[in-house]
Structure 1
Amino acid sequence: MLDFLAEAEALAGQMKEDRRWLHQHPECGYDLHETSSYVFERLKSMGLSPQMLIPHSGVVATVGDVNGPCYLLRADMDALPEVEQTGLPFASKNGRMHACGHDLHAAMLLGAAQLLKDHEGEYPGCVKLMFQPDEEATAEGPLGCRSMIDAGVLQNPRVLAASGCHVSPDVPCGEVGAYPGTVAYSVDDVDITVTGKACHGAQTFAGIDPINVCCHIHLALQELLAREVDPSETVVLSIGMIGGGTSANTIPSTCHMLGTLRTFDEETHRKLSGRIRTVCECTAKAFGATATVQFLRPAPTVYNDPKLVAELSEAYAAGTGRQVRRMSAPFSGSDDFGEISHEVPSAYFMLGALPDDAPATSLHDPHIVFDENVMPLGAAMHTSMAWGWLERHAEGG
């Protein structure tokens, strides 16, 4: 296999230019007019024929022989509604920020696109390049990966395997890590509305207090985890918002709760979804109120196919001279790449990108600064893994 890392290093300046433009023009959700247009035009400039699979937000391009096997590489492009506080000369000034590194993800996949185009015809089959919106769940409706699947990203040509990566402060800078099996939580937003009966604050006997009911529901949900979930399982149920009422002396008619459910096991996820609904409805009923529960914008677990992780790790070593580090624990967050991982064999890698001398920060921190020097490694990783899989698959491996 070729030395893709050396070739990617030659593209470092262009990837840095791409990343900094994207960083200065962050957009959220599906409102990626500038971002998707930039990516679209960059792909065209390479001689590719990109498609705007979702208007103004989702871009796909295919490189190679579409009559052979098809492998998918994925990057997300959306930012967060945060005010950047890095002080970088190319910092965002529009109240949004790439605090999760999606600008690097897109720039690295553009780098891989150029490498694959430069060697078109030298590998069997084709690589589909997917640039998606709304991984961060800042819009309404389905998450970006699900929308791309529904729009046909896995078809024409049919995708047989896929991979993606995320920059991470949890892996040493300049190293790639992987965890076989379930690598990230499923996630649901849990939306609860309790309806009682409004009344004067001095005459609570004349009404039904939905704020009080929400307090009891909150406590009951914590007991649900303590008494009905095996302690060996990893489950998080957090209520991040409770709101209701407009004045000190009025009991409102409704109160609203919003939280998040995250699990590593799909059966546990199904069980808890039903039990949360039951606990909310029955607790409300005990106080004479009613509760409605909605599970919004679900994303499944991200599953790393162990055989594919091993295969891609070999390809990465062949194309870069580096080794994939086995992570000691799964990623503690969620990612809608899980939608793809439950459709085709998939692998998701973590790329260490926090500078060694940087203060400890986490993803989504408005102060986080990433090391742009890792981008050639990311582009080489994408290219070597796709190339290696295609060669092996074409040989019947």
Structure 2
Amino acid sequence: MHQFLEEAKALEAEIIANRRYLHEHPECGFDLENTCRFVMEKLTEYGYEPKMICRSGIAATVGRPGKTIMLRADMDALPMEEETDLPFRSKEKRAHTCGHDTHTAMLLGAAKILKQHEAELNGTVKLMFQPDEEGTSPTGISGGDVMLEAGVLENPKVDAVMSLHIMSGSYPSGSINIRKGPMMSSSDTFEITVQGSGTHGSQPNLGVDPINVAVHIYEGLQNLIARELAPEEQACLTVGSFQSGDAANIIPDEAKITGTIRTTHENTRTAFKDRIREISEHCAAGFRAKADVKFMHGIPSVYNDPKLTEELIAYTEDMMEYPCEILEYPMSGSDDLSVISQNAPTAYFMLGSGTAEEGYLYPHHNPHILFNEEVFYKGTAMYVNAAIEWLKNH
């Protein structure tokens, strides 16, 4: 077994214990007071001088002057109730159903090992512990944006970024999945408000039915994927809510549609946002109504720098002694590591945590999801190995 795998395996009990504590005490968004206290105390215990560079955003460094590689983990949970039988399950109406507790624990393990190897580091490793990846803040501005604005890529200047995400329900335990170029989709939330004119249900001719207009807008939006997306492109448009009216015999004044558009290329993202607005406004006008289209704060797609990704794949395969799985297509999910990847060369790995055949039946954001604790030490070793090997060669 490779040295860093052995060292991470020796820390396995501590990594799991840290994860179980975080799992049992989940916090959401930027309200991570207890989580940050725990992380700061652990980093201090390991010999670091961590800094809170923004609300619930922690940075720490280890090493010496030179090139800098940053390792990132998100820390936030989701506002939902857990429905597992785990003895350390959350008792709150919050739950770590996306595995960010595991990311935090794995990076804490890496921090401990890296500190023990500080004299060998040919440069600096920066650790980034991030709030609100899920974008649950009312402002819609995610933790990645806030930490970027706070200067996480400066002092020292970051030359490369590595991160990983655990994946349960679809990827075999211990598998490492990645691709060069677009890795994950952008995500933009839209809200379309259709203003009609209310009237009695028996006299629709005296009003403008916003429900009818909104239905036509909905149908028009489906054509973006069916007829305006190039066959080699990838995008997903979902309408998640459709709200209007309160009574069976009243045509209401207003209807509201909300949804998301996800793309893998920025030009498609821009074009589809323009078309959502155009279809909505023109369709509404054709029925004597008006449509107001708003886009909430969105995030671009995660981009894996080809050169860095190829390099870190090689280091990872040498350590693991088995190949990474190269994904044919970008993932349809989104992650605000994207804002970091637009500003520094980035490589984002997916660490498999079990398939349905292995007993891990549920996908992310499901209240029943489970994660295979036997792979956590591998994530820690991946962080350590990527940092040390990259610095050694730069």
TM-score class, shorter-chain normalisation, is over 0.9
Once the two structures are superposed, the pairs formed by residues 385-396 of structure 1 within 5 Å of their partners are: 385-393=386-394
Residues 43 and 322 of structure 1, relative CA distance in 2, 3 Å threshold: farther
In structure 2, the partner of 1:222 is 222
| Distance of 1:223 and 1:317 partners within structure 2 | 43
In structure 1, the partner of 2:185 is 185
TM-score (norm 2): 0.95
In structure 1, the partner of 2:304 is 304
Return the offset for 1:64.
1.4
In structure 2, the partner of 1:150 is 149
RMSD of the TM alignment (CA)?
1.7
Point out the more displaced range, 249-258 or 160-169.
Answer: 249-258
> Does residue 362 of structure 1 match 2:363?
yes
2:129 to 128, 131, 134: 131
SS of the residue aligned with 1:354? strand
In structure 1, the partner of 2:31 is 31
Return the offset for 1:179.
1.2
Cα pair 2:264 2:330 within 8 Å, conserved? no
Residues 21 and 125 of structure 1, relative CA distance in 2, 3 Å threshold: same
> Does residue 327 of structure 1 match 2:327?
yes
TM-score (norm 1): 0.94
Cα pair 2:30 2:137 within 8 Å, conserved? yes
| Distance of 1:284 and 1:11 partners within structure 2 | 61
| Distance of 2:116 and 2:2 partners within structure 1 | 12
- Structure 1, unpaired ranges of 5+: none
Using the aligned pairs only, state the percent identity.
Answer: 46
Deviation readout 1:132-185 (Å, 9 max, x if unpaired): 111112222211111110111111111111011111133320122211121111
In structure 2, the partner of 1:3 is 3
Deviation readout 1:298-332 (Å, 9 max, x if unpaired): 11111111211121122224445454332343323
Return the offset for 1:251.
2.4
In structure 2, the partner of 1:289 is 289
| Distance of 2:148 and 2:41 partners within structure 1 | 23
Cα pair 2:122 2:392 within 8 Å, conserved? yes
Cα pair 1:318 1:384 within 8 Å, conserved? no
In structure 2, the partner of 1:257 is 257
In structure 2, the partner of 1:96 is 94
Letter in 2 for 1:163: M
Aligned length: 391
Deviation readout 1:171-228 (Å, 9 max, x if unpaired): 3201222111211111111111112223333332332222221111000111232222
| Distance of 1:160 and 1:131 partners within structure 2 | 18
| Distance of 1:228 and 1:374 partners within structure 2 | 42
Deviation readout 1:235-265 (Å, 9 max, x if unpaired): 1111010112222222222221110101112
Cα pair 1:76 1:102 within 8 Å, conserved? yes
| Distance of 2:330 and 2:226 partners within structure 1 | 22
Cα pair 1:3 1:320 within 8 Å, conserved? no
Letter in 2 for 1:304: N
Once the two structures are superposed, the pairs formed by residues 23-172 of structure 1 within 5 Å of their partners are: 23-55=23-55, 57-65=56-64, 67-141=65-139, 142-169=141-168, 170-172=170-172
| Distance of 1:53 and 1:202 partners within structure 2 | 61
Return the offset for 1:2.
7.2
Cα pair 1:145 1:340 within 8 Å, conserved? yes
Point out the more displaced range, 103-112 or 347-356.
Answer: 347-356
Letter in 1 for 2:382: M
Cα pair 2:202 2:249 within 8 Å, conserved? yes
| Distance of 1:16 and 1:331 partners within structure 2 | 28
| Distance of 1:326 and 1:283 partners within structure 2 | 42
- Structure 2, unpaired ranges of 5+: none
> Does residue 15 of structure 1 match 2:15?
yes
Residues 20 and 229 of structure 1, relative CA distance in 2, 3 Å threshold: same
Residues 333 and 203 of structure 1, relative CA distance in 2, 3 Å threshold: same
In structure 2, the partner of 1:375 is 376
In structure 2, the partner of 1:176 is 176
Cα pair 2:360 2:371 within 8 Å, conserved? no
SS of the residue aligned with 1:282? helix
Point out the more displaced range, 356-365 or 366-375.
Answer: 356-365
| Distance of 1:41 and 1:292 partners within structure 2 | 48
Letter in 1 for 2:80: E
Letter in 1 for 2:259: G
Cα pair 2:354 2:360 within 8 Å, conserved? no
Residues 317 and 235 of structure 1, relative CA distance in 2, 3 Å threshold: closer
Once the two structures are superposed, the pairs formed by residues 190-201 of structure 1 within 5 Å of their partners are: 190-201=190-201
| Distance of 2:328 and 2:222 partners within structure 1 | 28
Residues 360 and 219 of structure 1, relative CA distance in 2, 3 Å threshold: same
Point out the more displaced range, 134-143 or 254-263.
Answer: 134-143
Cα pair 1:26 1:92 within 8 Å, conserved? yes
